[in-house]
Amino acid sequence: MITDKPAEIAPSAVVYPGTVVGEGVKILDGAVVGKQPALSPRSTAKREELPPAELGPGTIVSTGAIVFAGTRLGARVIVGDQACVRERVKVGAAVVMGRGSLIENDTTVGALTKIQADAYITAYSTLEEHVFIAPCVVTTNDNWMGRTEQRFGNVEGPTIRRGARVGGGAILCPGVEIGEEAFVGAGAVVTKDVPPRVVVVGNPARVLRDVPEDELLG
Amino acid sequence: MITDKPAEIAPSAVVYPGTVVGEGVKILDGAVVGKQPALSPRSTAKREELPPAELGPGTIVSTGAIVFAGTRLGARVIVGDQACVRERVKVGAAVVMGRGSLIENDTTVGALTKIQADAYITAYSTLEEHVFIAPCVVTTNDNWMGRTEQRFGNVEGPTIRRGARVGGGAILCPGVEIGEEAFVGAGAVVTKDVPPRVVVVGNPARVLRDVPEDELLG
Amino acid sequence: MITDKPAEIAPSAVVYPGTVVGEGVKILDGAVVGKQPALSPRSTAKREELPPAELGPGTIVSTGAIVFAGTRLGARVIVGDQACVRERVKVGAAVVMGRGSLIENDTTVGALTKIQADAYITAYSTLEEHVFIAPCVVTTNDNWMGRTEQRFGNVEGPTIRRGARVGGGAILCPGVEIGEEAFVGAGAVVTKDVPPRVVVVGNPARVLRDVPEDELLG
């Protein structure tokens, strides 16, 4: 671990050599930080030597959570209990990841975004700033579900624009874009792009109305 | 740990000082009991000094599970592998929590209720006695999804009455009441209250028929 | 642990006595292998003395994962981080289980099948070879949800035939059969059997079209 700043690491936590730790970082019981991926021969994730994990000042990696090598968490990030952040992920300042949530490899998450408990963010996703992902949201990135050669180069996670909100248990199909400040209702199954500042609900999701003015970030 | 009764604590478990442990309690490998919350500056959970966790006689906290301070589990409760119970939760006798399930803060769960694997019980929920929550059920408590000042004081989890059953992957919108002995079908998205002793299905959920007499607790 | 072959066990992993470990097995930080079940008095799982877990050559049990006694994993299986495999499960060669996924007791999984992150495979399920289970898929096995005596002997997981694919967050009702090479769309709620080589979508799921020829294994 590389730091000359005071940090707080639980005795049962495992921090891999080279991990860069900012001032005031806390790593709680049983957490694992800086592990290298052990990929399946059939995984589509890239294979390369990964640089150490970096944790910004004031960041907390909670009980039983995992942060992979090659990932950079900004300042004051909270990785919830039993959550997991895979390799080559960039997480902005003050992001909160709820208990049990997962951010897969090669994903970018903007500052102030909140990913609630048990939500699943697939590989190659983009979440901009101030996004809200409710509990148990499901995202996907492969229309072929592991079949055909065609899928290689076509794996595409969602793009979730600034200030968008995605409701509990909603499901995003591969490659959809959720527009700025859009609102996806709980349980919606989103099969195509959602325009900015509208509310969508249902399976498949359809536009219901505009997002009320007083709920916009502006 | 405070106990003068025989209990079984795995060497790799972490039990915080002051935890109250009943006779015959088992705490399995890598479990963590009695931790204080590390809240986000933006969390809506209350901030206060929390009393120790209490585990009733015969209760089992399984492998890798977490039980927070300020929470009281009754007798013969099973907290499944990799499950989690947040702070200020009251869990009645003989409740079973499946592997990976989560009960968020400030929630009450009645005796004999069964919460199956990977189910998500949001903060400020009420589950009465003999409720059945199927695997991967999703509950929610915030219609504003973290936006507007209005939401403060309006965050409201579901109320699930005695003997109600909620099917696999069903989603409950904020504040809904599921009536006594009601039956929510798998995959239903419940947007409004469900009357007692009826079956609802679909997205959005609609009443399909009455619950058969022979399935009622009476 | 029974092996005379080189294997790699993290110091913080727990491997129960008698576990049979093939050549080149890796057991990562905080993983637990070979634990006996601690069943609820009300669980429907069978009660018996269980033989040790067996891990085939080249198999990896990742960080914080759990593999129960009485379970046999084939060669080159990957059990992802924080995943769990219950007792009396048979897993074929080269199966991949994503992070956080769960296979419940008394289930069989064929070779080359891929179960992605956070997917839930209920007890008494059959997955044949080369099946694809997308992230956060939900399966169920009890139409009575823990009520009536009738349910005993009627608990039935899904049967998922060779080469079938089940999309992100899809929900399978108890006992359904997903036909060979069928394709269940993301978010579908499957209430009855799905014929071979068709695509189903929606809640409840309906047939949309045939699976394209070029996506079939043949």
Look at residue B18 in the predicted model and tell me its pLDDT. 95
Those residues whose C-beta lies under 8 Å from the C-beta of residue A6, and which sit 6 or more positions away, are A23, A24
- Cα→Cα distances A173→A7, A160, A177, C99, C153, Å: 40, 12, 10, 20, 37
The token pair that represents C158 in the structure block? 């899904």
pLDDT at A148: 81
Q: Is C50 on the interface with B (CB under 8 A)?
A: no
CA distance B127 to B176: 12
Structure tokens at B100: 């990976």
Please check whether residue C62 touches A, CB under 8 A.
Answer: yes
Distance of CA C49 to the CA centre of its chain: 22
Inter-chain contact C30–A35, Cβ cutoff 8 Å? no
Tens-digit pLDDT profile for residues A102-137? 999 999 999 999 999 999 999 999 999 999 999 999
- The answer to whether the CB of B120 falls within 8 A of the CB of A136 is yes
Task: List CB contacts (< 8 A) between C102 and chain B.
Answer: 99-100, 117-118
> What pLDDT is attached to residue B81?
98
The pLDDT assigned to B38 comes to: 83
More confident residue, B167 or A148: B167
pLDDT class for B90, splitting at 50, 70, 90?
very high
The pLDDT, as a whole number, for residue C3 is 67
Mean pLDDT over each residue of chain C, to the nearest integer = 94
Q: Helix, strand, coil % (nearest 5) of chain B?
A: 0, 30, 70
List CB contacts (< 8 A) between A76 and chain B.
Answer: 41
Sorted by sequence, the CB contacts under 8 Å of residue C130 that are 6+ apart come out as C110, C111, C112, C113, C162, C163, C217
Q: Give how far Cα C5 sits from Cα of A119, C1, C27, C35, C63, Å.
A: 40, 11, 14, 22, 22
What is the C-alpha separation between A163 and A168, in angstroms, rounded?
16
Predicted confidence at residue C142, as pLDDT, reads 92
Residue pairs between chains B and C whose CB atoms are closer than 8 Å: 101
pLDDT of residue C51: 97
Q: Cβ-count burial of C50 within 10 angstroms (0-12 exposed, 13-18 middle, 19+ buried)?
A: middle
- Chain B nearest C-alpha distance from A45 (Å): 26
Tell if the CB–CB gap between B167 and C204 is shorter than 8 Å: no
At residue C5, the pLDDT reads 72
pLDDT of amino acid C39: 65
Q: Best mutation site among B120, B143, B206 for testing chain A: the one with the most A CBs within 10 Å?
A: B120
Does B159 touch chain C if contact means CB atoms closer than 8 Å?
no
Contact between chains at A30 and C165 (C-beta distance less than 8 A): no
Query: Would you state the pLDDT for residue B148?
Result: 81
User: Helix/strand/coil (H, E, C) string of chain A?
Assistant: CECCCCCEECCCCEECCCCEECCCCEECCCCEEEECCCCCCCCCCCCCCCCCCEECCCCEECCCCEEECCCEECCCCEECCCCEECCCCEECCCCEECCCCEECCCCEECCCCEECCCCEECCCCEECCCCEECCCCEECCCCCCCCCCCCCCCCCCCEECCCCEECCCCEECCCCEECCCCEECCCCEECCCECCCEEEECCCCEEEEECCHHHCCC
Instruction: List the single residue in A with minimal CA-CA distance to B43.
Output: A96
Cα maximum dimension of chain B? 54
User: What ipTM was assigned to the predicted interfaces of this complex?
Assistant: 0.94
Chain B contact present for C104, CB below 8 A: yes
pLDDT for B96 beyond 70: yes
Which of C28, C30, C136 shows the shortest C-beta gap to A120?
Answer: C136
Write out pLDDT tens, residues C124-169: 999 999 999 999 999 999 999 888 887 778 899 999 999 999 999 9
- Neighbours of C (≥3 Cβ pairs closer than 8 A)? A, B
Per-residue pLDDT at B49? 84
| Minimum-distance CB partner of B147 among A81, A94, A165 | A165
The shortest C-alpha distance from C130 to chain B (Å) reads 24
Min Cα separation A84/chain C (Å) = 8
Chains A, C: CB pairs < 8 Å: 101
Which single residue is written with the structure tokens 């029974």? C2
Give pLDDT, residue A41.
58
A78/B contact by beta carbon, under 8 A: yes
The answer to whether residue B43 scores a pLDDT higher than 80 is no
Does B150 have pLDDT greater than 90? no
H or E segment and range at residue C21: strand C20-21
Whether the pLDDT of residue C188 is over 80: the answer is yes
Q: pLDDT per residue over C40-97, tens digit each?
A: 655 666 667 899 999 999 999 999 999 999 999 999 999 999 999 999 999 999 999 9
What is the edge-to-edge ordering of all strands in the sheet holding A32-35? A14-15, A32-35, A66-68, A84-85, A102-103, A120-121, A138-139, A171-172, A189-190
The list of chain A residues with pLDDT below 70 reads: 1, 3-4, 39-47
Pick from C63, C134, C169: CB nearest A32: C63
* CA A7-A13-A17 angle, 5° bins: 75
List the single residue in A76, A82, A96 with the smallest CB-CB distance to B84. Answer: A82
Task: Give the residues across from C126 on adjacent strands.
Answer: C108, C159
CB contact, 8 Å: B149 with chain A? no
Residue B48's pLDDT band (cuts 50, 70, 90):
confident
Per-residue pLDDT at C1: 64
Q: What's the confidence (pLDDT) of residue A46?
A: 65
